[in-house]
Structures are given as C-alpha cells and as structure tokens.
C-alpha cells in the first residue's frame, strides 16, 4: 500500500510542477500557489500517510524494516508539518515570500533525504537500481524543481 501512496505522491507532484511551469510565464502567482499546494502540501500529507499509517509496508519498500518504528513516525510528522504549511501557503493569500520559504524548506528536507538514500545505496548490498532512480535521482530532480520555483517566488 505504501508503494501506491508513494506513486500517488509522485503523480500529484509531477502534475503540480507541470501546471507550475505552464502558468509561470503568464500567471506567476498562480504558478507558485499550485506548486506550493501540490509539491509541498499534498505530497507532504501523502508522505505522512505513507510513513505513519502504512509504516510497515513503507519500511519494507525502503529496505528499512524495524521493530521500533518511532523514527518512521517522526519522518511522517515532519512531512505532515511541511504538508500543512504547504496547503496553507498555497491556498491562503500570504504572498510569494511565504510560498518561497515553504518550497525551499521542503526542498532542503528532500535533498537531505536523497543524500541519505544515496549513502545507503553506496554502502549496502545489493545496490538496487530502484533505490538509485526513485529515492535518489527522482528526489533530487523533484527538490531541484521545487528550489527553482522557490527562488523564482522569492524574486517576485
């Protein structure tokens, strides 16, 4: 089930980025609201659901099974905190600076997660290509695009 929630998050994030780029030239405020609400808001809430409600299948999917899932819950709570702020910043009229901070904060969080997954990829056998592509490269690409929108939102 965690895999399905993960794919749903990737889909929502990709759709949000698509529409973010689509509206960037003609309606930048709409673009930033969409990207913040989807890539941080919805993706963060879905990550919370995945880490907390489906923690066993999520830990198995990542190869991090544990008898004490407290740290998995903590990761889920961090995602929920960002997700809630992303939804509020995307839907409310707080301005692009708030959206920029939320986008850049979550992008930094995901960059660090990608680096942890890359470390695990390099130090564990077998080196699974899925971990490299999904957990490292896709996460870095996602965080990079969020950073792009965060910087653009800051400069508006």
DSSP type of residue 142: H
Mean of the per-residue pLDDT values of the chain: 93
What is this structure's pTM? 0.93
Average pLDDT over residues 16-31: 98
Mark 100-109 as b/e (b = at least 16 C-beta within 10 Å): bbbbbbbbeb
Give the lowest-confidence range in 45-49, 53-57, 61-65. Answer: 61-65
pLDDT digits over 60-109, tens only?
A: 877 777 778 888 899 999 999 999 999 999 999 899 999 999 999 999 99
Q: What is the pLDDT of residue 134?
A: 87
The more confidently predicted of residues 111 and 134 is: 111
- DSSP character string of 42-73: IHHHHHHHHHHHTHHHHHHHHT---S-THHHH
Q: What is the pLDDT of residue 58?
A: 81
Average pLDDT over residues 39-68: 88
């Amino acid at each position: 089930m965690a895999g399905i929630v993960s794919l749903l998050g990737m889909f929502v994030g990709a759709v949000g980025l698509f529409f973010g780029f689509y509206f960037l030239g003609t309606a930048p405020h709409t673009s930033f609201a969409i990207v913040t609400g989807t890539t941080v808001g919805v993706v963060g809430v879905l990550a919370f659901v995945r880490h907390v409600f489906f923690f066993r299948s999520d830990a198995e999917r990542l190869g991090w099974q544990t008898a004490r899932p407290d740290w998995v819950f903590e990761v889920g709570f961090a995602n929920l905190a960002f997700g809630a702020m992303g939804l509020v910043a995307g839907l409310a009229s707080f301005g692009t600076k708030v959206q920029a901070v939320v986008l850049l904060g979550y992008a930094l969080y995901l960059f660090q997660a990608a680096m942890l997954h890359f470390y695990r990829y390099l130090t564990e056998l077998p080196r699974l290509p899925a971990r490299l592509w999904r957990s490292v490269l896709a996460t870095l690409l996602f965080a990079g695009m969020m950073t792009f929108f965060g910087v653009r939102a800051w400069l508006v």
